[in-house]
Structure 1
């Protein structure tokens, strides 16, 4: 905190020097500014500087709140897991105690007590199931490595689950529900490694439900923001298909030419060459 104030004063001083240096030649040569005008200019500059500092402080406060919310969410997830682990541990202790009692009945089992033998086998199965459940819960919270069009990426378990569920809905042909799920994914995970793919499939879902213009906007945004994305060439081909459906042959031809020029070796470009021949 002691270092922040000198930085603000230095920035203000630099700004004042800049204004003074800018006003000096004009004062010396033409006498256009008097002391009152110079004072107003300095006050205005100081006001702008203070407003800039306030905006910066507000931005930092918003970032802090967002980070705090994220940390609180993670803490809650860990708390739930801990409670689950404690419950399972209690169950395991109970099972161990019961198994210990049953082991004391080995002599009876040797005499053919089939009922106790079945009970022991059932307890062993429950113990294995409990251990498998613990491993599964822990695994669900660990980051996972996935392959996206040949590129490896690390995503959190909730991200992978949400993406897989949305794609599963799309594969069923439920375009409206798929569009809703994919849009919700973008809001929930704005920095996810899946986002380029989510954007591409969202465009397809919108196209499937008949919202052609909205799909065009999604495809164009994908190409404009991430031209090196593995799905960029396919997005351009899909965009051209939308334009053809809207009877925009000129726009479709331009899009296909862009596709062929920027992604000449892609499968989408090969399809684009065939498609452009069909446009009148």
Structure 2
């Protein structure tokens, strides 16, 4: 009588894997191993060995299949990890590029703001300059010796500069400035006053003949001017300084005759009385 062959149960160590394929293979092997004791009683030793070899072959095949599946899974995970790393690196590079571009844009904006500020300053300066030039060309109304007239701003400024030199007792400079003024503005409303004060500046410098020329130019230019009596009295004074008493007397007589009620006319009358 043939003794039944008792096959020891073998505990198979299957590779651990998250794949469903490996799990199914392991389940099939466990089920097959559970049936071995019952089947071993029906077969001889050769059949049992053959069955064991086939089982081992299947286990090895399943193990290789599981290992391959696990290796593929790991490869896929590694590839995904590498891809993720590349994506993260690319995103980091893009972020850094955006930061650099943003910094450049901020710098450009700051420069643009400075340029706009400078342009506004230049524009304001230009507008102020234009306004000044327009004001320099816009006539202004003035009053001189009881006469109202309009002059250009620069015209007024030049006349006042001559008057300032006269007040500072710089008589030669004042006489020269009055002369320049009259050559530049021959028809100015300031001309009678310029002639009168030029004569006074020359008289103060003891240039009596040029002073007489200035006074006579005033009388000829504006015979009815308020300064004419004073100019005639000044001519008489210059003539006296030049030791021309006869000419001085004639000038005083003409002054008293033409303007008897003026201050200069009254002064001429008193002076004529002293000459008798």
Q: Shorter-chain TM-score: what band?
A: 0.5 to 0.7
Please show how residues 196-211 of structure 1 align to structure 2 within 5 Å.
196-211=192-207
* CA deviation profile, 1:242-269 (whole Å, cap 9, x unmatched): 1111222221111011111111222211
Asked if the contact 1:166–1:178 (Cα under 8 Å) also holds between the matched residues in 2, the reply is yes
CA distance in 2, matches of 1:205, 1:94: 46
TM superposition shift of 1:132:
8.1
Please show how residues 105-120 of structure 1 align to structure 2 within 5 Å.
none
In the other structure, the counterpart of 1:182 is 178
Moved over 6 A (4+): 129-134
Question: Residue 246 in 1 paired to residue 226 in 2?
Answer: no
TM superposition shift of 1:183:
0.6
Question: Residue 215 in 1 paired to residue 211 in 2?
Answer: yes
Select the structure of larger CA radius of gyration. 2
Question: Residue 272 in 1 paired to residue 272 in 2?
Answer: no
Question: Residue 93 in 1 paired to residue 120 in 2?
Answer: yes
SS in 2 for 1:193: coil
CA distance in 2, matches of 1:91, 1:228: 58
TM superposition shift of 1:138:
4.1
Structure 1 unaligned spans of 5+: 1-89, 97-126
Asked if the contact 1:92–1:130 (Cα under 8 Å) also holds between the matched residues in 2, the reply is no
CA distance in 2, matches of 1:165, 1:178: 8
CA distance in 1, matches of 2:242, 2:155: 35
Structure 2 unaligned spans of 5+: 1-116
In the other structure, the counterpart of 2:153 is 157
- The number of equivalent residue pairs is 161
CA distance in 2, matches of 1:264, 1:275: 13
In the other structure, the counterpart of 2:221 is 225
In the other structure, the counterpart of 1:141 is 137
Asked if the contact 1:203–1:216 (Cα under 8 Å) also holds between the matched residues in 2, the reply is yes
Asked if the contact 1:233–1:259 (Cα under 8 Å) also holds between the matched residues in 2, the reply is yes
Greater RCO (CA < 8 Å, at least 6 residues apart) = 2
In the other structure, the counterpart of 1:258 is 254
CA distance in 1, matches of 2:167, 2:242: 25
In the other structure, the counterpart of 1:166 is 162
CA distance in 2, matches of 1:201, 1:267: 18
- Cα 1:272–1:139 change in 2 (3 A) is same
Asked if the contact 2:192–2:221 (Cα under 8 Å) also holds between the matched residues in 1, the reply is no
TM superposition shift of 1:166:
0.5
TM superposition shift of 1:221:
2.6
TM superposition shift of 1:190:
1.2
SS in 2 for 1:154: strand
SS in 1 for 2:187: coil
Asked if the contact 1:249–1:279 (Cα under 8 Å) also holds between the matched residues in 2, the reply is no
- Cα 1:220–1:95 change in 2 (3 A) is closer
